[in-house]
A and B are shown apart, each in its own frame.
Chain A
Amino acid sequence: MQLLEDGKIIELFFQRDQQAIVHTQNKFGRYLLKIAMNILTSRPDGEECVNDTYLRAWNAIPPQRPDALSTFLGRITRNLSIDRLRRQRAQKRSSQYARTDSDDEGNVVSMMGAGYDLSLDELSECIPSEQTEKGTPADEVGEALEAKELARTISDYLRTVTEEARKLFIYRYYDMESLKESAALLGITEAKAKTLLFRTRQGLKGYLEKEGWSL
């Protein structure tokens, strides 16, 4: 099937033509599943998030007319995947009879969200960590506003670094790609990617402190 341009796919959405979903799936399906799998690692869960993405896109377009479909859809999938991961973890913690994955020696092993955790671990040294406990709705709104403000500052910082460092940051911490895959996307070695990310994180930490953010 021929890949349509984003503009044509969006027109199909506006015409309420279900071919919009077909073409979206054809063009972005693998990319969206990759994002979901980087966070969830479970294929059925990932596929469900991707299907939910299509539904959300169908409901959002129109009236929205995204400039770049990949960014628009990728963000939806990312959010859905993270929300799903948090719900699954909350259920595991609260369930009286929670089963845990264990290896042959009886040690608890969980691969769920491994990429997400690794990403957060690396970022925790340079950006304020999010609250894990759910507060009131007002607290959640406040947290969201604060997160947006922080994101604006991080975006400003990323515009001061090289294109390579910027893209690497996005692949690693937004798409939650592994270091190996992030390096491959840029055509650089893992070692260089690791060093570049470290320097970017250090620079970000200094920038945030200068802007008044405390860890």
Chain B
Amino acid sequence: MDAIGYLDDDLIEEAESVRFRTVEQPRRIYSRPMRIAALTASAAVLIFGAFLFPRFFLRMGSTETAPASAQYEAATEEGLLQAETTAEEPADALLMTSSDSAPAAEEDKAPALAAGPADNGTAASALTWAKAEDTVTFQGRTYRPMTEEEMAGWLEEGLVIPPETEPAGVTEDASASELADASVFIPEEADSSRILVEIQGEGIYGFVVQK
């Protein structure tokens, strides 16, 4: 036998794990260092925001939704955010629950998305993840995970983050690196055919509406 055939098992395992990535593991769009940087930056933004906007973050935990205008009035007073449009009732949190239509299986328990800043200004709605089919349902539409090519293409086009969901410092047409620093997770498009979902502790995933 040649020497290469005797290489340590853990080296072979590490390499072959790429081939056997299972459906249960969502495809990671960003590299590990970028994910760590994104999580660290998100935590920093949340902590920083909690000091600046305590009322806003206290409201995030409640089931009542505050008028978006009140939030932006407060932000404007602080002089940190320039609200260009008046949003409708923002979502306090997005919850991931097992879809009713998903097959009943222990493996299909979906993790909960962390509460984040308001979404596109639409009413609070639940994002459900049908794990078996590897799709998400949002606002009545079903989305499938993007391929890496689709995600790369979307980044090249320029992801557009709606102003209502921009933390300070993030501009429109954010590049991928700027997006990684933001805690926003649902950008808006004209037809909402593509959405971006951040799963706390997991990563950021692109989804495209399933035809």
Contact = CB atoms under 8 A, between A and B. Distances in A.
A25 interface: no
> Which of B4, B7, B9, B19 is most buried by chain A, counting CB atoms within 10 A of its CB?
B4
A14 interface: no
Which range holds the interface residue count of chain A? 35 or more
Contact of B18 (A27, A78, A185): A185
> Which of A79, A163, A174 is most buried by chain B, counting CB atoms within 10 A of its CB?
A174
Interface string B10-21: 011111101110
B172 interface: no
A197 interface: no
Nearest to A148: B6
> Which of B5, B14, B16 is most buried by chain A, counting CB atoms within 10 A of its CB?
B16
Given A75-B12, A144-B1, A174-B12, A151 B19 contact: no
B137 to A, nearest CB: 23
Given A3-B22, A71-B9, A155-B8, A163 B3 contact: no
A30 to B, nearest CB: 9
Given A71-B13, A163-B14, A170 B7 contact: yes
Contacts of B22: 3
Interface string A191-208: 000000000000000000
A155 B2 contact: no
Nearest to A168: B15
Contacts of A71: 9, 12-13, 16
B148 interface: yes
A182 B8 CA distance: 19
Given A68-B13, A171-B15, A174-B12, A158 B2 contact: no
A147 interface: yes
Given A70-B19, A144-B1, A155 B7 contact: yes
Interface in B1-56: 1-9, 11-16, 18-20, 22
Nearest to A166: B11
If over half of B's interface residues share one DSSP class (helix, strand or loop), that class is named, otherwise mixed; here it is: helix
A209 to B, nearest CB: 15
A82 interface: yes
Contact of A74 (B1, B2, B8, B16): B16
Contacts of B6: 147-148, 150-152
Interface string A1-21: 001000000000000000000
Contacts of B18: 167, 185-186
Given A70-B16, A70-B19, A170 B11 contact: yes
B4 A123 contact: yes
B3 A170 contact: no
Contacts of A70: 13, 16, 19-20
Contacts of B8: 151-152, 155
A37 to B, nearest CB: 15
Interface of A: 3, 27, 31, 67-68, 70-71, 74-75, 78-79, 82, 120, 123, 127-128, 130, 144, 147-148, 150-152, 154-155, 158-159, 163, 166-167, 170-171, 173-175, 185-187
5 contacts: A31-B20, A70-B19, A144-B1, A173-B4, A185-B19
